[in-house]
Amino acid sequence: MNCRYVQSRLSAYLDFELSGDEQQLIRSHLEECIECSCEFESLRRTKQLLRQMPIVKPRTGPEQVLLRVRQAQPATPRPAWGIRWHPPRAWQYAGGFALAAAILFWGRSADTETSPMTTASPTTSYFTPASNSLLPTVAPELSAVYRPYAPNLFRRTAYPMTEPSLLPSVSYPMDPMLGYQPVSEWNSIPSQPKFIETPR
Amino acid sequence: MTHTAVAQSMDDRLQREFDELVYRHYQQAYNLAYRLTGNAADAEDLVQEAFLRAYRFFERYDRSMPFMNWFSRILTNLYIDEYRRRGRLRTVSIDEVYSGEDGEEGTTMDLPDTAPNPLELALSNEYIHAIHEGLQYLSPEFRIAVILADLEGYSYEEIAEITKTSIGTVRSRIHRGRKQLRDQIKKRHPNLFERGDLK
């Protein structure tokens, strides 16, 4: 422990703001080192002088402050997340519609012959009847099959199972190692749950 | 009870709480502001402004924290802002002869009445002025740290919280501030640092 280190910590030592060990080390150094103890003494005296400074009395009372405070309005409380609610602006409506449209049209790209971006018109929505000429005519029976409106990217999905499990009486075919449907099969038809007979 | 009536009674409750806090801490707040700014007029403005801001954001006051800790943060922040806005704080010498607004000259500055508490008479006025002026020589960050530690008696942890810095920074500011202050006082009153008890 050198003097330079000790002198940098003298104020903290004076205020008892060091750990017990450090406090002890500096105390033992001060007993030996004249220079450091002189420095410490002057700092102690400075603190002592400051502590003896009188409390200054204000010329006016708190009434003056309160009088001005009465005229001021308190700030309206803000919610914790720091955003004030307001009715949606026009661009926010537009953004909302765009987002909803994007979600609705997500799964359609493989169904139609052309990209949904180029054929985006009210007639290509899911609410159009099956007789719409834009729907695929290659396999008409498929268009009657249920398709999810917004296939979730992380949807747990059906996947051909190698062998039926015996434990549950109703088993959904699923590859336990895969978990998620491969991208290439996002638009494939989910297979129906299989009902398996279990021995009683 | 309607919603507005509920809000009104809530406001009244907060208002009463705030009034009570102002009455209880006004003296201490003024003292802090006076030591920071170095003169009564600026101290009054600073305290006024700080209480006004405290009132405006009273909703955000966390009751688990002592009011003065929260308020000191507001006051010191305001002081730093004001200091930076002015570029360099106008320091007024106590002994300086100044001219009042109505043109009368030759009067010296009227100092606020210091408490004639017999316990505080240990320091003569001359020494008090020397220390007070010495404080004005410090940079605002050092001055805030030294005043909060030695005049207000806050712990390093509390000062770090008030000034939003680390304890290491607080420790260094207090140390360097005290050393600068000591050198300033020593210049004018070396006898204060002679061995022996304070006179």
Q: Residue A121 has what pLDDT?
A: 46
Q: What is the ipTM of this complex?
A: 0.75
Q: Please give the C-alpha separations between residue A1 and each of A33, A151, B72, in angstroms, as whole numbers.
A: 11, 69, 37
Q: Are B141 and A73 in contact (CB under 8 A)?
A: no
Do the Cβ atoms of B18 and A68 come within 8 Å? Answer: no
Q: Residue A115 has what pLDDT?
A: 42
Q: Are B74 and B58 in contact (CB under 8 A)?
A: no
Q: Which of B70, B25, B138, B42 is nearest to A66 (CA)?
A: B25
Per-residue pLDDT for chain A (200 aa), expressed as one digit of tens each? Answer: 788 999 999 999 999 998 889 999 999 999 999 999 999 999 999 998 898 888 888 888 888 888 888 877 655 555 556 666 677 888 999 999 999 988 887 755 544 444 444 444 444 444 444 444 444 455 555 544 545 454 544 444 454 444 455 555 555 555 555 555 566 666 666 666 666 677 76
The number of beta carbons lying within 10 Å of the beta carbon of residue A9 is 19
Nearest to B156 among A15, A60, A64 (CB): A15
Over the stretch B87-109, which tens digit does the pLDDT of each residue have? 754 554 444 444 433 333 444 44
CA distance A26 to chain B (A): 15
**Which residues in chain B touch residue A8, judged by CB atoms under 8 angstroms apart?**
175
CA distance B105 to chain A (A): 22
Over the stretch A158-182, which tens digit does the pLDDT of each residue have? 544 444 555 555 555 555 555 555 6
Q: Residue A108 has what pLDDT?
A: 58
* pTM of the predicted model as reported, rounded to 2 decimal places: 0.58
Residue segments in chain B with a per-residue pLDDT below the cut of 50: 89, 92-111, 114-121, 197-199
